[in-house]
Structure 1
């Protein structure tokens, strides 16, 4: 066989070997892609399962705080207001508040006696609406737990008394003491007839947590800038730097004259 023929056969064999290596490489890539796609599918399925699990138990509003159970006597849209005072009082004061909020305590300390005087006289009706912004800002659950406990006190007909006790004994803003049921029970003992098994169960089970969450959502969607937000017949009096308890009293009494 001539040298030329031998060289031709060798070249052909080399080309065939190279082609076989290319085919093997292509097969390896194909298998890699299949495996990779399978992994992606598995991860995608796991992600879907994770989302489903994360949302399990949430109500239709996407809130995992539990069912919305309004306290006894709550009124207004979605029953989010706890009313105090006569239904037909000439003036209405809406108070958005957070039991962990220091500014809310300052407002309560300054205006409490005046508000009680006006509600007792049938001249003012107050709608208390609860928010949990300090929990969101500082962390913890004290705002929520105290609001739930106040709603439990409303069930027992002791809202005003417990409301005032919570503010009188408000811890420092950074101290999440209201997150502890033991603290809420300790303060309930200061209100005659409140510290009962029914109240304790309501607090321990977070019966009104869903309602509190819904109220806080209403606060956030209401365009308010912070707590307290205090509206007298729709006018924000907390932003009025000239407002005083005496001025509030005069305005309410003037409205009562008709």
Structure 2
């Protein structure tokens, strides 16, 4: 059974430190072998306890995706890891969301979305990332891929300020889902938080797989292709053009 234990629990303020990984601020978690240390990158970095060794498990990635969108016969499958509280993920969505959607429509891309939740404690409610991931899970379970993509974009557009005084309630999340075409049953699922625990479990295991792919240091947003991180995802859509232009096995 997947564990929901978070490495930041009980960490003292003195263990917080700044960690920069690129010219843009990304949200990073790094594994250490003995003790887990909490740290901040623009208000949101934690250190994870050492994860299981070994390579990425494709079956697990598939199982723990909030939704898999695109033709199974598409030449490329990617895994996208995001946190609905992450401002840099919002930037990624603004830059690449439309291009990703078009590649899916064109049959060139299959995508597995993984919604993480390590920024829960940076939200006013203390669990916004998890609740938003649970809402996405409800929408994904309904099986309407167009609604999921619209809802995914809408949540980033309505993203609460990190570390702010307010965030979105379940009722707010359900209303946004309804505005994107989610049916009454899906909206009730969101309002009731019916898929919250499923989303938390999926986030934990997806995070574990991402840790394996990155050697223990994981962050959002991250894109994996064939189990390896894709570079340049915050520099426009060139990363996607390059990926789609690759021949099989390249």
TM tier, smaller: 0.5 to 0.7
Q: 1:80 aligns with which of 52, 56, 64?
A: 64
Partner of 2:220 in structure 1?
A: 227
Report if the CA contact (8 A) 1:96-1:229 is conserved. Answer: yes
> Does structure 1 residue 213 correspond to structure 2 residue 200?
yes
Alpha-carbon distance change, 247 to 141 in structure 1, aligned in 2, over 3 angstroms: closer
In structure 2, what is the Cα distance between the partners aligned to 1:122 and 1:105?
25
* TM-superposition CA deviations, 1:38-62 (whole Å, max 9, x none): xxxxxxxxxxxxxxxxxxxxxx656
Where does residue 152 of structure 1 map in the other structure?
138
Q: CA deviation at 1:215?
A: 1.9
C-alpha RMSD over aligned residues: 2.8
CA shift, 1:246, in A, is 2.9
Deviation at 1:234, TM superposition (A): 2.6
Looking at structure 2, the residues matched to 212 and 117 of structure 1 have their Cα atoms a distance apart, in angstroms, of 27
Q: Which residue of 1 aligns with 2:79?
A: 94
Task: Decide whether the 8 Å contact of 1:132 with 1:144 is kept in 2.
Answer: yes
Higher helix share: 1
Higher strand share: 2
Pick aligned residue for 1:130 from 115, 129, 144: 115
Contact 1:177 1:183 in 2 (8 A): no
1:61 to 1:90, Cα distance in 2 relative to 1, 3 A? closer
Superposed displacement of residue 178, structure 1: 4.8
Per mean C-alpha deviation after superposition, the further-off stretch among 110-119 and 240-249 is 240-249
How has the CA–CA distance of structure 1 residues 255 and 170 changed in structure 2, closer, same or farther, with 3 Å as cutoff?
farther
**Residue 138 of structure 1: how far off its partner (Å):** 4.9
How many pairs does the alignment contain? 186
Shift of 1:143: 0.6
Unaligned ranges ≥5, structure 2: 6-57, 212-216
CA distance in 2, matches of 1:104, 1:242: 9
Give 1:190 shift. Answer: 2.2
The 5 Å alignment of 1:185-196 reads 185-192=174-181, 194-196=182-184
Deviations 1:19-46 (A, max 9, x none): xxxxxxxxxxxxxxxxxxxxxxxxxxxx
Correspondent of 2:104 among 98, 119, 131: 119
Unaligned 5+ segments in structure 1 are 1-59, 65-74
User: Which residue number corresponds to residue 19 of structure 1?
Assistant: none
Structure-1-length-normalised TM-score: 0.63
Retained in 2: the 8 A contact 1:96–1:227? yes
Distance 1:215 1:163 in 2: 17
Contact kept, 8 Å, 2:174 with 2:191, in 1: the verdict is no
Q: CA deviation at 1:229?
A: 1.4
